[in-house]
Amino acid sequence: MSFTGLADLGGIGFVLMGIAITIVHVRARLPLPVARYHYRPS
Contacts of 25 by beta carbon, 8 Å cutoff, 6+ apart: 31, 32, 33
Residues 6+ apart with CB under 8 A from 29: none
- 32 near 25, Cβ under 8 Å? yes
Q: Where are the domains of the chain?
A: 3-38
Tens digit of each residue's pLDDT (9 = 90 or more) over 2-40: 778 777 878 888 889 989 988 887 787 766 566 555 555
pTM over 0.75: no
What whole-number distance in Å separates Cα of residue 33 and Cα of residue 35? 5
Q: What is the length of the chain?
A: 42
